[in-house]
Structure 1
Amino acid sequence: MTTAETETGVLAGEQRMLIDGELQLTSGGATFDVLHPASEQVAGQASDGTIEDMARAIGAARRAFVTTDWSRDLDFRYHCLTQLAQALERNKERLRRILITEVGCPVAVTGSQIESPIAEVTHWAEHGKNFDYLIDNGVHDTPLGPARRKIHYEPVGVVGAITPWNVPLYLNIAETVPALMAGNTVVLKPAQLTPWSGSEYGRIVADETDIPAGVFNVVTSNANDVGAALSADPRVDMITFTGSTATGRAILAAGAATVKKTLLELGGKSAHIVLDDADFNAALPMAAMMACVMSGQSCILPSRILLPRSRYDEGIEILKTTMENFPVGDPWTPGTMQGPQISETQRQKVLGLIRSGLDAGARLITGGGIPPDLPVGYYTQPTLLADVDPDSLIAQEEIFGPVLTVTGYDTDDDAVAIANNTIYGLSGEVSSADVDRAFAIACRMRTGNVTINGKSHFGIGSPFGGTKQSGLGYRNGDEGYKEYLETKTIGMPE
């Protein structure tokens, strides 16, 4: 690593894609620009892959799955992923600078996007090495006599991974490493706004590991139809996707003809129910901070705060104070906790939803626009809206910006009904001095994950997935690993 690469500041990433073990540009050399959202300037280029490039990558993955020992050699997979973890660790400061350049994520909060995914590579290598791929299910009586049954877990085949831009390196790792350790081959299609977190990953695999050609491929592109081609290709056995519910529906439709296995983590509109006996000074400042720390660009963010009417004004004041004092600015500056939105398009979506909330009768408490001291960069003020109608657009649609909505409720039943009044069911939160009461509320929330009194549900050892239109299947935990495996039951003589 050069001295320049260890310094702070904008850093362009790897332009080339990884297809069949070779780092390469697309035919003709076409590229597209990658913008730094804090400066609105072009930071560099990425290869603008085509449908033909995607087809070659899928063909390479199919060939590698069928003709190599990757799916059968557990020890070799463990060796390669241990190499990968070590290589990512060596490259982590370069990856950090690329992440900040692409996303605008403040350097102070990059740990969850750099150190955490590197640690997860080691976790999945160990998990896969120790997983029991063959289980004796005992002897069973049948009309033809006793039969012993064994359950064999085996790789799905070719996995297509389509990842979003909000936490790109983390999700590139989360959607590919367990798949690889389970014995699958992979084609990764990174988000258009954050191609380098994928192409750098590909470079590291090619240059610093023994992962065979074709086992792992990365295709970057600025065209939506390239990702669609991955979803529809009959040579792909499974699609794993994190992103919007609208795109998730399209992926399901594209894979329907071949009945693809599909793992989806989709949108969220999570509610934080603050009960009347809660410690407001403990719960609400953290709620306000979490709304801002990733510029609101988090699917599990509890963006709807539900307050008891008996303490409504008190809660509003605490949220207001925190949001008005939250450090927003240049992501390269230590101490900054909120950077820009990923793009001007995303910022305008956020501002438009704020306007729609005001038009529907919400009351603006603070924020609502562009910070006057940050005229350059895609910044949005931390925004608090009160008196929000639970049926209004801003209470129903995922905002993906530093915006909290507040709605009052009268009873616990009322709070649960409001929390469940959405097509989404990804996450949620309950705050109360009475943990049993909070647990009872959590059990009634129609969502895949709930945090009680700040004790996070999210972790590599616990299953994470959504209900309703927030997704299908699980990441993390043993359940998450099994998503990348097929279950085969074998009957045999006793």
Structure 2
Amino acid sequence: METRVEYTELFIGGAWVTPSGSGVIEVMSPHTERVIGSVPAASTADVDRAVEIARAAFDSGEWTQTPLADRIAVVTRIKDAILARSEEFAALISRQNGAPASSAMRTQVLGAVAAYGAACAVAAQFPFEESRAGVGGPMLIRHEPVGVVAAIVPWNVPQLVIAAKLAPALLSGCAVILKPAPETPLDSNLLAEICSQAGLPKGVLTVLPAERDVSAYLVAHPGIDKVAFTGSVPAGKAIMAAAAANLTRVTLELGGKSAAIVLEDADVDQALPNILAGSFANSGQACVALTRILLPVSRYDEIAEKFAAAVAAMKVGDPTDPATVIGPMTSAAQQRRVLDYVGIGEAEGAKILTGGSVPEGLSTGWYVEPTVFGNVDNSMRIAREEIFGPVVCLIPFEDEAHAIAIANDSDLGLSGAVWTADTEHGVEVARQIRTGTFSVNCQRFDVVGPFGGYKNSGVGREFGPEGLAAYLEAKSIFLPA
């Protein structure tokens, strides 16, 4: 039997302290449905204490005035320590959210390591202070840290999303209160252990596992200067409304309903593995998942048959099995949500080509078969709403203009892709799609490029110099002519 991971203290301002309340968050395995660990549940009193400590640390200027090279050295030590304990991180993430272990290592842990490294490289070249010739005389442009940041992260890819927020926030000189999802707090506390030895001044980092009501209190706290959130569209809208009361800055990375366009001239045998990887990554629990597959009418039957056969062959099961492609949903509620959407799709008249139920022999654990709906109309709920599970819609199109119109006919605009024999033409298609990221003849995510969404997929960008700038305020200093 695996050892339970138990924490009895909260990491506040760089020290492990006794929580104010007696609440406990129990962490469940999505595979066994058993408790695998627990952490104290932070209360609003803990939030007040954390904000006060972070505010004092930031206002003291110790971290802000630390030379950039030294801040980079601290973040590099964090990166190196995560890499040294990568197997421990990957196993812990997989135990919490059910991600296949190989995926947890490759995408979540090594992806986070890459993100810290890329952020350090960006910071080393960033123009934190530069001269500019003004109309009336010379001026100095400074970029200064925004202040105390509340970083709120989801359960699906916790360490990668943490890196997207923590790295630029620390490199810019901010203090950070990290709020992990209650489903996956254990890896955040492991990160706290690492950060406590990395050389951060006291008060600069807090980790507060908490339920949603305490998160709402944190977001609305007047001592918070910026909220960086990744999660659902409804939660993002609620955060933006709460932040408005204090004019708190926000970065919101929200949902997606991304389209993969397969043009008539595409090499389907080359495209199919890439599309499947983009559609079912992290068991479909990914905001960038390609969940609308747009197929030309002239080749619809051929491609749909190949696609459904490939999905039916995916191994579903124990996330620790290296052969597993689809693990369990992270929670019982998420399993119910996905299965409910399967029912909605059937009621709307879409046809299940494969999947659609709980896998045979997996009654324990929160599993859903990878599911493909055929002949979907883009007006159907299963084509418009983010399901966040292994459910994909095949949508026929008449011509390229029709495909582009379907891809853009969404309230969301996070990602997407196109496959075609002509890469240059694929770029022309990409220029017409209203999404924050888009891939041509591949499905990529890169921690060097800006990441975020159009429309309801969010506000602001993460990664690259754009992601660092999100944690900085711009100041103009005018000098005599």
Cα distance between partner residues in 2 of 1:342 and 1:455: 24
1:83 correspondence with 2:72: no
Counterpart of 1:45 (choices 26, 38, 44) is 38
Larger deviation, residues 27-36 vs 266-275? 27-36
| 1:322-341 equivalences in 2 (<5 Å) | 322-341=310-329
Using the alignment, how far apart are the partners of 1:334 and 1:22 within structure 2? Answer: 37
Q: Which residue in 2 is equivalent to 1:3?
A: none
**Which residue pairs with 1:195 in the alignment?**
185
Distance 1:25 1:182, change over 3 A: same
Aligned position for 2:158: 168
AA paired with 2:415?
Answer: S
Amino acid at match of 2:447: I
Deviation at residue 269 of structure 1 after TM alignment: 0.4
* SS of residue in 2 equivalent to 1:303: strand
2:258 corresponding residue in structure 1 = 270
Conserved in 2, the CA contact under 8 Å of 1:16 and 1:199? no
Equivalences for residues 197-212 of structure 1 within 5 A: 197-206=187-196, 208-212=197-201
Change (3 A) 1:10 1:105: farther
| CA spacing shift, 1:126–1:443, aligned 2, 3 Å | closer
User: Distance in 1 between the 2:65 and 2:169 partners?
Assistant: 14
2: CA distance, partners of 1:253 / 1:39: 38
1:82, distance to aligned residue in structure 2 (A): 2.3
Displacement of 1:28 in angstroms is: 4.1
Confirm or deny: 8 A CA contact 1:108 1:337 kept in the other structure: no
Given that 1:36 and 1:42 are in contact with CA atoms closer than 8 Å, whether structure 2 keeps it comes out as yes
For structure 1, which segment, 195-204 or 248-257, has the greater mean C-alpha deviation from structure 2 after superposition?
195-204
- Of 290-299 and 360-369, deviating more is 290-299
CA displacement 1:350-400 (0-9 Å, x = unmatched): 111111011001011000000012121111101010011211111110011
Find the counterpart in structure 1 of residue 145 from structure 2: 155
In the TM superposition, residue 215 of structure 1 has moved relative to its aligned partner by 0.2
Matched, 1:369 2:395: no
Give the letter aligned to residue 124 of structure 1.
A
Over residues 186-244 of structure 1, what are the superposed CA-to-partner deviations in whole Å (9 max), with x where a residue is unaligned?
Answer: 001111111112222112212x22111110011111x2121111111111111000000
Question: Retained in 1: the 8 A contact 2:9–2:17?
Answer: yes
Residues of 1 paired with 2:34 and 2:279: CA distance?
Answer: 26
For the 8 Å contact 2:275–2:443, the answer to whether it is kept is no
Give, in angstroms, the shift of residue 476 of structure 1: 1.0
1:132 aligns with 2:124: no
Q: What displacement does 1:251 show?
A: 0.4
Aligned match of 1:256: 244
CA separation in 2, counterparts of 1:25 and 1:95?
25
Q: How far apart are 1:435 and its partner, in Å?
A: 2.0
User: Which blocks of at least 5 consecutive residues in structure 1 are unaligned?
Assistant: 1-7
Match of 2:373 in 1: 385
Partner of 1:400: 388
**Counterparts of residues 212-223 of structure 1 (less than 5 Å):** 212-221=201-210, 223=211
TM-superposed deviation, 1:9: 5.1
Amino acid at match of 1:366: T
Which residue, out of 341, 350, 371, partners 2:338? 350
Q: Secondary structure at the match of 1:293?
A: helix
Aligned-partner residue type, residue 105 of structure 1: A
- Partners of 2:314 and 2:277 lie apart in 1 by 7
In structure 2, relative to structure 1, the CA distance for the partners of 1:199 and 1:154 (3 Å cut) is: same
Q: Which residue of 1 aligns with 2:97?
A: 103
Report the equivalent of 1:182.
172
Mapped partners of 1:141, 1:130: distance in 2: 27
In the alignment, the residues of structure 2 paired with residue 394 and residue 460 of structure 1 have an alpha-carbon distance, to the nearest angstrom, of 30
Q: How far does residue 455 in structure 1 lie from its aligned partner after superposition?
A: 5.3
Give the superposition deviation at 1:180: 0.6
Q: 1:462: how far off?
A: 0.9
Q: State the superposition RMSD in angstroms.
A: 1.5
Secondary structure at the counterpart of residue 136 of structure 1: strand
Q: Percent identity?
A: 37
Amino acid at match of 1:465: G
List alignment gaps of at least 5 residues for structure 2: none
Spell out, residue by residue over 1:52-73, the C-alpha distance to the aligned partner (whole angstroms, 9 max, x if none).
Answer: 1011111111110011410111
Q: Counterparts of 2:191 and 2:8 in 1: how far apart (Å)?
A: 12
- Distance apart, 1:77 and its partner CA: 1.5
**1:167 to 1:11, Cα distance in 2 relative to 1, 3 A:** farther
Q: Give, in whole Å, the separation in 2 of the partners of 1:237 and 1:95.
A: 30
Name which of structure 1's ranges 260-269 and 124-133 shifts more when overlaid on structure 2. 124-133
8 A Cα contact 1:288 1:404, kept in partner: no
* Cα-to-partner distance string for 1:439-488 (whole Å, 9 max, x where unaligned): 222111111111110152x2121111100010111111111111111111
Distance 2:114 2:428 in 1: 34
Corresponding residue number in structure 2 for 1:230:
218
The alignment status of 1:468 with 2:461, answered yes or no, reads no
Which residue is 1:30 aligned to? 23
SS at match of 1:489: strand
State the Cα deviation string for residues 287-330 of structure 1 (Å, max 9, x = none). 22432231100000110001110000011111111101112110
Scaled by the length of structure 2, the TM-score of the pair is: 0.96
User: Match for 1:376: what amino acid?
Assistant: T
Q: Which residue in 1 is equivalent to 2:409?
A: 421
Would you say the 8 A contact 1:270–1:300 is kept in 2?
A: yes
Distance, in Å, in 2 between the alignment partners of 1:10 and 1:407 is: 46
Match of 2:422 among 419, 422, 434: 434
Q: State the AA in 1 paired with 2:92.
A: I
Is the partner of 2:282 in helix, strand or coil?
coil
**Given the superposition, is the C-alpha separation of residues 452 and 334 from structure 1 closer, same or farther in structure 2, using an over 3 Å criterion?**
same
Question: Structure 1 CA distance, aligned partners of 2:135 and 2:163?
Answer: 44
Q: Deviations over 1:63-116 (max 9, x none)?
A: 100114101112331232222123223322221221111111111212111122
Counterpart Cα distance in 1 of 2:82 and 2:437: 30
**Contact 2:119–2:463 at 8 Å: present in 1 too?**
no
CA distance in 2, matches of 1:141, 1:471: 36
User: 3-state DSSP class of the match of 2:311?
Assistant: helix
SS in structure 1 of the partner of residue 431 of structure 2? helix
